[in-house]
Structure 1
Amino acid sequence: MALFNATRLLGKTVLVTGASSGIGAATAILFARGGANVILIARRAEALKAVSDACTTAHQESGLVQGGKFASVQLDVSDKAQVASLWDKVPQELRNVDVLVNNAGYVLGVEHVGDISDEDIQGMFATNVLGLIAMTQLLVKDFKARKSGHVINLGSIAGREPYAGGSIYTATKHAVRAFTGSMLRELVNTPIRVTEIQPGMVETEFSIVRFRGDTGAASKVYEGLQPLTAGDVAEEIVWAASRPPHVNIAEVLIFPVNQASATSNYRGGK
């Protein structure tokens, strides 16, 4: 853990969306262990409280004096009005955010084009794309004013390679990649850093949501190989945030060792 307890994270304030489970929760806890303050945002208040408590425990176990301030905000990033009122729900002492981690996002269903419901399409775009953009717009204004800040967007291998049964999700992640790339170029004349983390197969609640609660179908996605964990991806996020101020990790593509692309994997090694 010494790598993540570097002085670059001490006392920094990090805002993590989708922090109630999976990658978001693991990221929030790891930042807390590294001496950062964390604003945790998600729709599920009860789950959010459990992660906030875990952040407190992780910080206490680290023995660090800096950081240790946590705020939980029940908020749906797909709701423009809720995003606009964010600062009304955040303590004054945590409003100078140093790192924004846009993690909130989901995939629902494996239906092919022609059979996808409008509700599913609108929901995925509202959260994965429009919500991410709304949060970034809000924070980047402040980053520009303070001449400091770091935006870390959670992309996916799905943002690089489309695949059958994922037309809407892959479209949202391609949008995230394009948005992140444009922002990187727009902010090149500032000290603001921009990073996209692109995981491959990660075993979290993600697949359970995709298969509408069917845990059996979700587990088959990872059958025969060892997928990434939420903690594996969190380590890359925190590592990117802890680089020296002049170093920007623009993209990180992360696979389990038995995956080579969105659809190429080896399932005989587990």
Structure 2
Amino acid sequence: MGNLSNYFGQNIDRKRIVITGGTTGIGKATAALLASLGGHVFIFGRNELDFQKAIEDIKAQAEGKVFGIAADIAKKEDLQLICDEIDNTLGGIDILINNAAISGDGIMDEGYDSIKYILETNILGYMAFTREAVFRMKGQKSGHIINIGSMSAETREKTSTVYVATKSAIRGFSASLRKEVNELGIKVSLIEPGSVTSNMQTSSQDEQKEKIKKLEMLEAEDIAMSVLFCLSQPKRCDIVSLQIRPHLEPI
């Protein structure tokens, strides 16, 4: 295998990488890691303050170039704006990491408009951006799409029915997408984390830190390393699905 540092960086250096929801949590941690390995990373998120802080933090440790924009993937007009920016800065996409998502409660606790926005973000956002990425990847006959799902698709908690529905959809979408695009030279991987520290959690930052100490919660960097593992495989090897659970989370 040779030097492990070369192994983990071989498919990252100078690659054009787009991360949806790349301004916080898993997306930001992944962007920082891949940029530190020489990847040219483009991130976006809907909150302007989160975006500005993420760009500053990622650039501070980046070996590759870092670009981005504050935009909402659930809005059709923003999708076009994002794609135009990517074409102008990166000139294409080699790696897409679909990560932008928001939480959702039980069906009786969410109104119609709220459910619609969650679906547009968590499902339509993944599908619409994947479509744009595939159009750009198929001409070069290579690419890698990583969808960040959730163990909620398996545990199916009664308190998060809407979120469970979206992550179950991503599980099915990923499996079917792989069959559709593999012949184009495009890989598809699904990563399903268990409980991860993030601003989507209902618990406080201190409570999340305590859960991490108790091995009941993952850190965003743990998932970033899993993304890197999927991206580091040779062309002949696909990591189709990967589940990462906290050691003591009862799933």
The alignment's TM-score, normalised by the length of structure 1, stands at 0.84
Q: After superposition, give the CA deviation of every residue in 1:141-176 in whole Å (9 maximum; x if it has no partner).
A: 111121111110010111223111011100000011
Note if contact 1:20-1:42 (Cα within 8 Å) is conserved in structure 2.
yes
Matched, 1:242 2:238: no
Q: Report what 1:211 is aligned to.
A: none
CA distance in 2, matches of 1:183, 1:9: 23
SS in 1 for 2:200: helix
More off after superposition, 123-132 vs 39-48: 39-48
* Structure 1 segment 167-246 matched on structure 2, within 5 A: 167-208=161-202, 215=204, 219=208, 222=211, 225-246=215-236
SS in 2 for 1:58: coil
Structure 1's 260 and 91: CA in aligned 2 closer, same or farther, altered over 3 A?
Answer: same
Q: Report what 1:160 is aligned to.
A: 154
Q: 2:48 aligns with which of 45, 48, 61?
A: 45
CA distance in 2, matches of 1:192, 1:123: 29
Structure 1's 6 and 170: CA in aligned 2 closer, same or farther, altered over 3 A?
Answer: same
Q: 1:88 aligns with which of 84, 89, 110?
A: 84
Note if contact 1:150-1:192 (Cα within 8 Å) is conserved in structure 2.
yes
CA distance in 2, matches of 1:3, 1:163: 41
RMSD between aligned residues: 2.3
Structure 1's 217 and 6: CA in aligned 2 closer, same or farther, altered over 3 A?
Answer: closer
Note if contact 1:71-1:91 (Cα within 8 Å) is conserved in structure 2.
no
* Structure 1 segment 45-84 matched on structure 2, within 5 A: 45-60=48-63, 68-84=64-80
**In the alignment, residue 82 of structure 1 is paired with which amino acid?**
D
Q: After superposition, give the CA deviation of every residue in 1:54-77 in whole Å (9 maximum; x if it has no partner).
A: 2222125xxxxxxx2111111111
* Structure 1 segment 95-174 matched on structure 2, within 5 A: 95-109=91-105, 112-174=106-168
- Mark the runs of 5 or more structure 2 residues left unpaired by the alignment: none
Q: Report what 1:32 is aligned to.
A: 35
Q: 2:17 aligns with which of 3, 6, 14?
A: 14
Q: How many residues align?
A: 247
CA distance in 1, matches of 2:144, 2:102: 23
Note if contact 1:41-1:73 (Cα within 8 Å) is conserved in structure 2.
yes
Matched, 1:255 2:245: yes
Structure 1's 103 and 23: CA in aligned 2 closer, same or farther, altered over 3 A?
Answer: same
SS in 1 for 2:237: coil
The alignment's TM-score, normalised by the length of structure 2, stands at 0.90
**In the alignment, residue 83 of structure 2 is paired with which amino acid?**
W
